[in-house]
Every structure is written in structure tokens, then in C-alpha cells.
Amino acid sequence: MRKTPFKITAFVLALITALMLFGCVKPDDPDVVVDVGENTPVPVTAAPTGTPAPTDDPTAAPTGTPEPTQNVNPDPSKRKVYLTFDDGPYDYTDRVLDILAQYNIKATFFTVGRFMFRYPDTLKRMAAEGHVIGSHTDSHDFNIIYKSPEAFLEDVAKWREDLKAQVGYDAGAYVLRFPGGTTNSSIGGRSGRGAYVEAVNAAGYYAFDWSIGFNDKWLAGNVNNLPKPEYFWQSYLETYSYYGKTDPLIVLIHDTEEESVNLLARLIEDLLAKGFEFDTCDHIGDNFLM
Ligand SMILES: [Zn+2]
């Protein structure tokens, strides 16, 4: 396997900001949106300035401005974009599937155990319509999965059994997203994630962080109290302006967030207008770590 697509440069340090832009909700209750707060986003109105903060610091401040590297391809029409949906399936996932069908786009869904049981028909539909189902762990409980790499793998194995039980066959591609991303404080940040990434790779999975998105689980970053649609769209534009040249370009959306789903068609139109083609994470063939 080749190395991760980014060298340890100042640019990479700056890229860490991307992970700080998003939190991942713990889906303890689908009706309650919980900010885990493992990452601190850049307020959408603030330019990223200053010194990079430790990635595993939940109170981390915005980091420096990224600079182009040799790993960057500036031409969207020569690159692919990967839509990824976390934490579902949920109430809005069927709408996501409708929109994706309308554009004939395949996406990657990083699902969690309890919602696979709650929305089995949606899960089956994902598989039947050719989308990629990846693991976001069974429990999504940071206290369980980040005890150790072994505990993490155990949870992922349970996810796989749940998926098989619900769909009726092993519909899961070997792609995975760590809850909170690989720089979250519970995994130990960039310095602590190595053993976890190695463990999932040894189990056959590639791990995927993300480049850009709506910031839809980090409402605390909405310092100007914009209406959600405005805040989400501005977050997309800002994260694209910083990280839109990363290759592969991976978009994080939570299909547990209705306003994000409301913006999906607009997002697709924008990415199509930029020249991107859409693909699924199983075709990347490597980890994507920020
Ligand atoms: Zn999540």
C-alpha cells in the first residue's frame, strides 16, 4: 500500500483544520443531536490564521493557511469527488437516496449499528441501488471503541454482523470511517491513531477522513447564529476554498441532519458545475487520513 497522499509538511498541519471543522455526533438517541466536541471548528467567518494547535486538543484553535503541495491537483475536472454520509441510516436517508438516484450518483454511507436495525429497508435500498456501505462502528460510543485497537475491531466486527443480519448478505465494502475522524482526542490524535489505523488495515479495511463539508455536527462553529442552511452552505464554500484541491476530495455529510439533506441537490449541482465526477470510497484503494 502506498503512503498516505500527504507528506508531513506545513500544509498537512494546516489540513488538520479540516478535521477540526467537523464533529461527529454520537447517535445515542436519533432524536437528540449531540455535539461530542472532540474537534473544534473554524468559525465560518474567521480566516484560518495563527499557529497550528495540537490535533488532539479539543479546544484547538484555528490553524495556519494551507499551501499547495505536489500532492494537490488543482483541476476539478481531472479529479473525483466522494460523497460520504455518516451516522445513518436515518429519517432523511431515503431522501438522500432519491436525490442520488435522480443524478445517477453512487455514494458511500458509513452506517452505525442501532440505526441499521431501525431502518432496515433503507439499508437494503442502499445496497440494492449500488451504494457502498461502510463501517462507522456498531456503537459509535467513544468510550467503547477507543479503549484499544482490539476493542475498536470488536465493535467493527459486530457492525458487520449487524449489516449481514439486516441486508441478508454481506453488503459491506471494506471501507471505514473512525467516529470523530482519525485526529480526534479519544483516539489520541495524529500521534495516537497509528495503532488503530494499522489494526483496521490488517482487518482489511481502509480508513477515510474527509476534506470538506457542511460542518453540520458542529453548530458551535456558527458564531454569527446564521440560519442552518446558510451556515452549512458557507461552511461548504469555506472548506472548499481551503481544501478543495485535496485529491481525493471527500465530502462529509450527516444524513441524520435534515438541513444537510435539503442542501444536497445544490451541493451536487455545484460540484458538477466545477467539473467533478462522483465515485465511491471503495475505489480509492488506500487510506485517506488528514
Ligand atoms: Zn459519526
The residue to which cell 467513544 is assigned? 142
| CA 27–ligand 1 middle distance (angstroms) | 7
Low-confidence ranges of the chain (pLDDT < 70): 1-73
Confidence (pLDDT) at 71: 56
| CA 98–ligand 1 middle distance (angstroms) | 22
| CA 181–ligand 1 middle distance (angstroms) | 8
Confidence (pLDDT) at 35: 34
Using a CB cutoff of 8 Å and minimum separation of 24, what contacts does 193-199 make?
193/289, 195/149, 196/146, 196/149, 196/152, 197/287, 197/289, 198/149, 199/149, 199/150, 199/152, 199/153
Confidence (pLDDT) at 79: 87
Using an 8 Å Cβ cutoff, are 142 and 36 in contact?
yes
**Residues around the ion ligand 1 (C-beta < 5 A):** 24, 86-87, 179
| CA 14–ligand 1 middle distance (angstroms) | 23
Q: Model confidence over 74-87: pLDDT tens digits?
A: 777 778 999 999 99
| CA 83–ligand 1 middle distance (angstroms) | 15
| CA 85–ligand 1 middle distance (angstroms) | 9
Confidence (pLDDT) at 72: 65
Domain 33-283 in CATH: superfamily? Glycoside hydrolase/deacetylase (3.20.20.370)
pTM of the model: 0.79
Confidence (pLDDT) at 23: 43
Confidence (pLDDT) at 40: 35
| CA 70–ligand 1 middle distance (angstroms) | 31
| CA 86–ligand 1 middle distance (angstroms) | 5
| CA 136–ligand 1 middle distance (angstroms) | 7
Confidence (pLDDT) at 198: 98
